Structure formats: C-alpha cells, structure tokens
Amino acid sequence: MTPILELQSLEIGYPASKDSQHALVPAVSLEVHQGDFIALSGANGTGKSTLLKTIAGIIPSLDGKILLHSKPLQSYSAAEKALLVSIVLTEYPEDQFLHAEDVVAMGRYPHIGFWGIMSASDRHIVAQSMESCGISHLKGRRLVSLSDGERQKTMIAKALAQDSPLIILDEPSAFLDYPGKIELMQLLKQLVKTSNKAIIFSSHDLDLVLRSVDQLWLMAKGQPLVTGKPEELVLSGQINRYFDRDGLSFDPLLGHFIPERKKGWMVYVNGHHLHAKWLNNSLLRHGFLLSANPDEELHVACETETFTIKYKGKAYICSTIDSVTDKLMQLCANEISSS
C-alpha cells in the first residue's frame, strides 16, 4: 500500500545561525498509511510540535524529504496541500465571536471557489462533520461561550470538514479534564475507523495513549525517534529508556509512573485482579514496595470479599483495603520494635 506520508532522513529544528543548524533528533525515516492512529509522545522541549509543524509544511525541514502521496511536500501549492493535510494547533481563531458552525465551515475553504460560496454539498459536509464530533447542538453558539472540550471538538470538526486524508493535532487534550481526554480519544479512534483517515497527534498523557493508539512515536532530546505498538514499546523497555528520570519510573505492571523507592517493606500481592490492582495502589501510597516473588515473607491473597495476609506462618483476614494496609503497617512496626 502506498503511504500517505513518507519521511526520508528528515532532520527537524531551527537554524542556530546563518551558517549553522542543529537537528533536535537524529534523522527520521518512517511511513504513515491510511487508517493509522498514531500518538507522538515525549518530554517538553524534545521537538514534538516542531516535527508536526514540519510535516504539515508550516516550518521548513533542515534536511531530508517529506513525501505526500509519493510527491515532495514542497511541490504542492498551499491550496493543494490543504486538500491533503489538515492541522489542529493549540491556538484558537482570534475572532472568539464566530459561531461554531462558521469555524467548522472554514475547513471547506480549500474546496470552494474564489468567492467562498458554499454549495449544498459543502453545507452538508459541515453538518455531517459536526454530527460526527457530537457538536450539532452547538450550532448558533459563539466560540467564546464554549468550554475547552467543546472548542476542541469544534476544531476537530473543522479538520474533518477539510476532508484531507491526513489529520495532525498538536496536544489536542491539553486543556481537557480526564473524562474529556478519554472522550476525545474515543472520538479520534472512531474518526479513523469510519473515515479511514490517518491521524497523528502529540500528547503528554502517556498513560492514556498507551491504551488508545495503534502506534506510538517516542521522542527524547538527541535520541532517535522510536516507533512501535504501545505494548511492544513497554515490554522492550523503550518507555523506561525514554521517560524514566531520577526518582520517577514507569512501572510496566501497573501501566503508570511511580516514584522510585530504595527502601520499604516488600509485599507480594495476588488474586482477584481488580482488588489486587487497587490494593497495590494503596500499598505504594503508604510506602511499601511491590514484589514479583510469590515466596515473599509478606504475602496478600485477594478475593472478592476478603484479603488474607500471610506473614511468618500466621494468617490475618481483612475485609477492606484500608484494613489490609493498617495491618501490614502494624506488622512492620512490631517487627522494627522487636529487632
């Protein structure tokens, strides 16, 4: 299958001076195909926005090639490029008194004539784009009156109305609450499935994208851009290599970042998955360390109604996570006082 987008030894960054330039990351070579749902993740300052803006043709590359449908990006006029790539940045239109449907209609500009008169077909596409993004009820509302989530959906509907095969979004979930972030991920996934477009977006919410996207691009300053399935990048240790820092590391078992602790009582937890997960959460919060060794001296078996602590040949039955944590802390305190 011919890729929608192809990067060949692409170098991104800004010239340091008239005579020198410095690439933010080593040269990037990769392909993007129809139906790809891709998240670009990395720490602040690694070049995520720069990469997306370079791909979209907003800023020039330092070196290498960007091919859209097998043709160099620079061979397209601005109007032709707008038919192939739509981009949603963190900035909103300056005129905050535009109606939501007028903002979405801006996406049709590459398709209409010099006078900017929309046909019935264009108006249908605008309405359909708003419906797909779940914002039909915002018709008649001004941008200034919308919540952050509603504004972001309006901008995505605009990109959808543009009807380009590639949609690029820079931090689309930046100002949303957590349920709003999840809702946005579901919307983007649905758009990929129903429209067969390719979507690339940047995000700091690694926990969220790990369970949402089909492909993950990882960026770190001065390091090669790494791509792969989220599960592969976790299991191969790439997530840790690109995101761990002093005092904080990604825990592949829990699927999120936890503070590193050198000291603490080791506890092995097994049994009912849901109860074990949230017991682990409580234990980490109270300074315990989680062990993968079933022969650990402190052992907790989780069932749906009870928790059984086993320690030095004795068993203690608890009915809640709080009571488990309290009992473990008591056992550890007794051990310290008797030593």
> 170 and 74, same structural domain?
yes
**Domain for residue 292, yes or no?**
yes
**Domain for residue 167, yes or no?**
yes
> 156 and 11, same structural domain?
yes
Residue 27 has pLDDT above 80, yes or no: yes
**Domain for residue 192, yes or no?**
yes
pLDDT value for 339: 61
**Chosen domain end from 214, 245, 276:** 245
pLDDT value for 19: 55
> 282 and 223, same structural domain?
no
> 71 and 130, same structural domain?
yes
**Chosen domain end from 245, 279, 305:** 245
> 17 and 103, same structural domain?
yes
What confidence tens digit (pLDDT) does each residue in 106-121 have? 999 988 876 778 899 9
**Domain for residue 251, yes or no?**
no
**Domain for residue 259, yes or no?**
no
> 302 and 224, same structural domain?
no
Residue 83 has pLDDT above 80, yes or no: yes
Give the CATH number for residue 60.
3.40.50.300
What confidence tens digit (pLDDT) does each residue in 202-227 have? 998 888 899 899 999 999 988 999 99
Spell out the SS3 assignment of the chain. Answer: CCCCEEEEEEECEEECCCCCEEECCCCEEEEECCCCEEEEEECCCCCHHHHHHHHCCCCCCCEEEEEECCEEHHHCCHHHHHCCEEEECCCCCCCCCCEHHHHHHHHHHHHCCCCCCCCHHHHHHHHHHHHHCCCHHHCCCEHHHCCHHHHHHHHHHHHHHHCCCEEEECCCCCCCCHHHHHHHHHHHHHHHHHHCCEEEEECCCHHHHHCCCCEEEEECCCCCCEEECHHHHHHCCHHHHHHCECCEEEECCCCEEEECCCCCCEEEEEECHHHHHHHHHHHHHCCCEEECCCCCCCEEEECCCCEEEEECCEEEEECCHHHHHHHHHHHHHHHHHHC
What confidence tens digit (pLDDT) does each residue in 275-288 have? 998 999 899 889 89
Residue 35 has pLDDT above 70, yes or no: yes
> 273 and 226, same structural domain?
no
Give the residue numbers spanning the domain of 294: 266-338
**Domain for residue 252, yes or no?**
no
What is the total count of domains within the chain? Answer: 2
**Domain for residue 164, yes or no?**
yes
Across all residues in the chain, what is the average pLDDT? 89
> 86 and 26, same structural domain?
yes
Mean pLDDT across 37-50? 91
> 329 and 181, same structural domain?
no
pTM above 0.85, yes or no: no
What confidence tens digit (pLDDT) does each residue in 126-143 have? 999 999 888 999 999 999
> 209 and 126, same structural domain?
yes
> 65 and 170, same structural domain?
yes
The highest-confidence range among 64-68, 107-111, 145-149, 242-246, by mean pLDDT, is 64-68
Assign 3 a pLDDT band (cuts: 50, 70, 90).
very high
Residue 17 has pLDDT above 60, yes or no: no
What confidence tens digit (pLDDT) does each residue in 289-335 have? 889 899 999 999 999 889 999 999 999 999 999 999 999 999 998 88
Assign 261 a pLDDT band (cuts: 50, 70, 90).
low
Residue 20 has pLDDT above 70, yes or no: no
Residue 82 has pLDDT above 60, yes or no: yes
**Domain for residue 256, yes or no?**
no
> 155 and 219, same structural domain?
yes
